[in-house]
Amino acid sequence: MSAINQTLVFKATVVETFTAAEAPSASDRQITHSNFDETKTLNATSTPPGAQVYTKELTGNQSLDFTALVKDLGDTIDCTGLKLQSILLNNTSSSNTVTWADGGANPYSVNGGASKVIQAGGKWQEFFNDKLDDVAAGAKAVDITATDSYQIVLVFG
């Protein structure tokens, strides 16, 4: 089995530029807001851990079973007993949404039972910090509704 090392970067750097009337000194006219930027690393020894990764470009509607995720390289992975730790979903469509929802008879709840809609061209990145349920026989499926292609990275630990 492969080892993973995921670096999550949550960043929003905003440069605010003031007018001469607001800040007479030219050297004081810009403020960079980046106080809340954070980088988090997940791997086998981190808390929370990162043990399995599923990454794929998909097209159209998909039902993902976290106990049987088919990777492009390597074996099919079974995430039973692991928690979903992070997600990155990149909606590459220029005109259609992607919707993530609890799946079928054995739903894995990520968003408190509510669907998550990712707008055209949008991205959804979230770090769950070991707070979701373990993947199990009764909690293993999500449904993705889409017309176009999208990219997804899921890390379990």
Q: Which carries the bigger pLDDT value, residue 21 or residue 151?
A: 151
Say how far apart CA 95 and CA 149 lie, in whole Å.
11
What is the helix (H) or strand (E) element at residue 46, kind and residue range? none
DSSP-based three-state secondary structure for 129: coil
Q: Which carries the bigger pLDDT value, residue 30 or residue 151?
A: 151
Let me know if residue 116 belongs to a domain: yes
Say what the pLDDT of residue 134 is. Answer: 98
- Per cent of the chain over pLDDT 70 is 99
- Count: domains in the chain: 1
Each residue of 66-78: pLDDT tens digit? 999 999 887 899 9
Residue 82's domain comprises: 43-156
Let me know if residue 19 belongs to a domain: no
Which two three-digit tokens encode residue 55? 């990454």
CATH number of residue 95's parent domain: 2.60.120
Torsion sign across C-alpha atoms 150, 97, 145, 64: positive
Let me know if residue 51 belongs to a domain: yes
- Per cent of the chain over pLDDT 90 is 71
Strands 38-43 and 5-10: antiparallel
Of the pLDDT bands very low, low, confident and very high (cuts 50, 70, 90), residue 141 is: very high
Let me know if residue 33 belongs to a domain: no
Say how far apart CA 154 and CA 110 lie, in whole Å.
12
Let me know if residue 24 belongs to a domain: no
Cβ atoms of 132 and 83 closer than 8 Å: yes
Each residue of 35-89: pLDDT tens digit? 888 899 999 999 999 999 999 999 999 999 999 999 988 789 999 999 999 999 9
Let me know if residue 26 belongs to a domain: no
Let me know if residue 36 belongs to a domain: no
Of the pLDDT bands very low, low, confident and very high (cuts 50, 70, 90), residue 94 is: very high
Let me know if residue 53 belongs to a domain: yes
Residue count of the chain: 157
Which two three-digit tokens encode residue 104? 């079928």
Each residue of 100-119: pLDDT tens digit? 999 989 999 999 889 999 99
